[in-house]
């Protein structure tokens, strides 16, 4: 993790792999394929997000073999108690301000596995997300006040981005009302 308790790319991929095993044992190749496809669909192909191999997660005791490889050649994996604890830690991490591929992936993973958290922890994550969006909104709104940055398509782009942030803030508020 970075010093601000936000995830590095490798940890985002680890969160995806650990989360893929929550609630059910799964075949090794299915976990690897699901993690790769999910990350690629959120951020596109990225060498930065190749991440930790499943073998490393096994060596660290975060996942284990539930059933050895049979005729298919694929072993069945399960999440360990240590793996569940690591997943909960990843889900409780902060999200860095700003738009980046890593942030998109971390937010998507947090939202995908948010039901693993208790009610208070879910609220905390949604409130933190809303707070991050509000901070982004304030930063861009401040930029609107600078006339020397209002040339070209910048005003239109800022209006568009502020609208997206408003929608995200509203969405977080609705989710908080539901949870």
pLDDT at 64 over 80: yes
Burial class (CB in 10 A: 0-12, 13-18, 19+), 4: exposed
C-alpha–C-alpha distance, residues 134 and 162, integer Å: 10
125 and 154 in a common domain: yes
How many CA atoms within 13 Å lie on the side-chain side of 42?
A: 24
pLDDT score for 44? 83
pLDDT at 5 over 80: no
When pLDDT is averaged across residues 85-89 and rounded to a whole number, the result is 96
Q: Which residue has the higher pLDDT, 4 or 90?
A: 90
pLDDT score for 45? 75
pLDDT score for 161? 95
Is 77 within 8 Å of 28 (Cβ atoms)? yes
Q: Which domain holds residue 145?
A: 118-179
90 and 5 in a common domain: yes
C-alpha–C-alpha distance, residues 156 and 9, integer Å: 32
pLDDT score for 47? 60
Instruction: Summarize pLDDT for 105-154 with one digit per residue, the tens.
Output: 999 999 999 999 999 999 999 999 999 999 999 999 999 998 888 889 99
Which CATH number fits the domain that encloses residue 4?
Answer: 1.10.10.10
pLDDT score for 51? 55
4 and 61 in a common domain: yes
pLDDT score for 89? 95
Closest CA relative to residue 64, chosen from 86, 38, 83, 40: 83
C-alpha–C-alpha distance, residues 162 and 155, integer Å: 10
Residue 46, in any domain of the structure:
yes
pTM, two decimals, is: 0.87
Count up the domains in the chain and report the number: 2
122 and 67 in a common domain: no
pLDDT score for 122? 96
Residue 61, in any domain of the structure:
yes
76-80, 83-87, 94-98: range with lowest mean pLDDT = 94-98
Residue 88, in any domain of the structure:
yes
pLDDT at 6 over 90: no
* Residues written for the chain: 179
Residue 49, in any domain of the structure:
yes
122 and 87 in a common domain: no
C-alpha–C-alpha distance, residues 40 and 144, integer Å: 34
Q: Which residue has the higher pLDDT, 63 or 23?
A: 63
Closest CA relative to residue 144, chosen from 161, 164, 158: 158
pLDDT score for 129? 95
Q: Which residue has the higher pLDDT, 79 or 97?
A: 79
């Amino acid at each position: 993790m970075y010093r601000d308790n936000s995830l590095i790319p490798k940890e985002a991929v680890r969160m995806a792999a650990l989360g893929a095993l929550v609630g059910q044992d799964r075949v090794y190749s299915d976990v690897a394929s699901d993690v790769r496809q999910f990350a690629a669909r959120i951020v596109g192909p990225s060498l930065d997000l190749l991440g930790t191999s499943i073998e490393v997660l096994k060596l660290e005791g975060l996942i284990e073999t539930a059933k050895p490889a049979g005729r298919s050649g694929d072993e069945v994996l399960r999440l360990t108690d240590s793996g569940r604890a690591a997943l909960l830690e990843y889900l409780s991490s902060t999200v860095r301000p700003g738009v980046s591929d890593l942030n998109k992936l971390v937010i998507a993973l947090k939202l995908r596995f948010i039901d693993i958290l208790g009610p208070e922890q879910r609220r905390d994550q949604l409130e933190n997300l809303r707070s991050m969006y509000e901070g982004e909104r304030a930063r861009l709104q401040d930029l609107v006040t600078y006339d020397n940055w209002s040339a070209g398509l910048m005003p239109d782009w800022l209006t568009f981005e502020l609208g997206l942030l408003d929608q995200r803030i509203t969405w977080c508020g609705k989710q908080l009302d539901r949870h």
